[in-house]
Amino acid sequence: MAREVMVTLFPETQAFAERRPEARAALSVSHLTKRFGDELVLDDVSFSVDEGESLVLLGPSGSGKSTTLRLIAGLESPDSGQVVIGGKRVDEVSARARNVGVIFQHYALFPGMTVAENIGFGLKIRRVKAKQRQPVIDRLLDLIGLADQREKYPWQISGGQAQRVAIARALAYEPEVLLFDESFSALDPQTRVPLRREIRALLRKLRVPALFITHDQEEAMELGDHVAILNRGRLEQIGSPSEIYNDPQTEFVATFLGAANVLEGKWQDGLIHLDSDRYLAPVSSVPPLTDGERVKVIFRPEDVSLGSATGLIETPYHLGRGEITDVGFTGASETLTVRLLTYGQSGNLLVPRAETGRNGLSSLNNNAPAEFVIKALRTKWEARKLRLRVGDRVTVGLKAYKALRA
């Protein structure tokens, strides 16, 4: 288990893994770089996918995820870096010889062929005789539950069925790895969620390694054993869904996955100073910092605890007093917008002036009061215990936060 984790997170150990075949990664890419004209689309990207594992490449449009998939499939060549499939380097190998299965965004089922013919295509071009193709096609049709659709044409079946056919078509010739190119984005939400669970279960059962490309973070969390976040061609972080969510290494990762509050402060004398009166005790995961260095404080809405204005709050970290400026009700939970209040020189409670630019930083330079606006999330029951409305004053505490160099 430790070795698998190592190989996944630290591709330099690929060579080590290759000496021990049972730990061989099904797919690994190292230092992939690709330029289109002047634009650097992929910048030194490395990751790997183990046998039976699924990895999700998650990122916004233009982050380079589709390019990565095309480089792995062999539809494009990288400017530098290598792609290793099934233990063999495939940089010089054409797409047809790489033995990968690609499920495209709109499935690309051949329109002139029936479902059965589509599934059998990979075998047909490998010169497998029709008599030997039939049982494979039948077995796959049963696997995806579409035996009764075998004579239908691609335009006669639904999107969800088409995706299943695309998967069966790829599985027919037993590829080393399956690559899914945003293949759920063309489906309506009702079909999407059950289908992706079904496909996840199917891949698990078959122990087929898979790489998913998506910009939908909910999909990423559900589909992947590991998630890799791509931003403008750079791999920001790679880890399990809970690692990525609870322990983001960069601001981008923190804000891309779920909501995040970001405050800026200054490191001074072992504390993070958010403004002249507010400071945070450091979390254990604070990176080594020098005095005066800027720090980003990141926490999620559910990490915030709210108490009454005059009460005490039992959280490890405190943000002082705040005022509710908005309450959003979403059924199971409540999202509150809280403006943190600060004290003026005279000690009176002042409503701070709005500052331009990032939260807090400009105010540290000229000692003016800072304005911090954060979002807090409470469950229905917490909301019942302490009902809050716009204008209410509260005490704000933090259960946890993450500190990153600014």
Partner 1 sequence: MGAVTASRNSGVADQRFDLGKPVGIGLVIAAMLPLVIMPLLSVFIFGMKEGPVHFWKVLSAPAALFSIKLSLLTSSVATVCNVLFGLLAAYVLSKYDFAGSSALMIIISLPTAIPTAVAGFALLLLWGKYGLIGYYLERYTDFEVMFTTAAIILANIFVTFPLAFGVIKPALDNFDRSYEDAAETMGASRWQTFFYVVLPSLRGALVTGALLTFARSIGEFGSTIMVSGNLAMKTQTAPLYIFTKFNEGDVEGANAIAVVLAVISFAVFSLIILFRNRLER
Q: Which of 74, 209, 224, 248 binds partner 1 (CB under 8 A)?
A: 74
Q: Which of 10, 36, 110, 329 binds partner 1 (CB under 8 A)?
A: 110
Query: What is the Cα–Cα distance from 316 to 240, expressed in whole angstroms?
Result: 26
Sign, CA torsion 89/94/97/103: positive
With CB under 8 A as the contact rule, which of the stretches 43-51, 98-106, 267-275, 285-293 interacts with partner 1? 98-106
Q: Kindly state the smallest distance separating residue 41's Cβ from partner 1, in Å.
A: 18
Return the number of the residue (104 or 343) whose C-beta is nearest partner 1: 104
**Residue 79 burial (CB count, 10 A):** 14
Site for partner 1 contains 153 (CB under 8 A): no
Return the number of the residue (209 or 239) whose C-beta is nearest partner 1: 209
Return the number of the residue (57 or 73) whose C-beta is nearest partner 1: 73
Return the number of the residue (109 or 289) whose C-beta is nearest partner 1: 109
Return the number of the residue (122 or 241) whose C-beta is nearest partner 1: 122
Query: What is the Cα–Cα distance from 198 to 176, expressed in whole angstroms?
Result: 21
Total residues at interface with partner 1 (CB under 8 A): 26
* Among 288, 47, 25, CA closest to 177: 25
Angle between helices 130-144 and 159-171 (to 10 degrees): 130
Q: Kindly state the smallest distance separating residue 136's Cβ from partner 1, in Å.
A: 14
> Which residues in 155-174 contact partner 1 (CB under 8 A)?
169-170, 173
Cα atoms found within 13 Å of the Cα of residue 140, Cβ hemisphere only: 27
Q: Residues 248, 254: contact at Cβ < 8 Å?
A: yes
Site for partner 1 contains 97 (CB under 8 A): yes
Q: Residues 42, 50: contact at Cβ < 8 Å?
A: no
With CB under 8 A as the contact rule, which of the stretches 104-112, 264-272, 343-351, 354-362 interacts with partner 1? 104-112
Determine the length of the chain: 406
Residues pairing with 10 in the sheet: none
Site for partner 1 contains 185 (CB under 8 A): no
Residues pairing with 339 in the sheet: 323, 373
Site for partner 1 contains 121 (CB under 8 A): yes
Site for partner 1 contains 208 (CB under 8 A): no
Site for partner 1 contains 380 (CB under 8 A): no
Helices (H) and strands (E) in the chain, counts: 12, 22
Q: Residues 338, 323: contact at Cβ < 8 Å?
A: yes
What single letter denotes the amino acid at residue 227?
A: V
Site for partner 1 contains 95 (CB under 8 A): yes
Q: Which of 100, 210, 230, 377 binds partner 1 (CB under 8 A)?
A: 100
Residues that bind partner 1 (CB under 8 A): 73-75, 94-102, 104-106, 108, 110-112, 121-122, 125-126, 169-170, 173
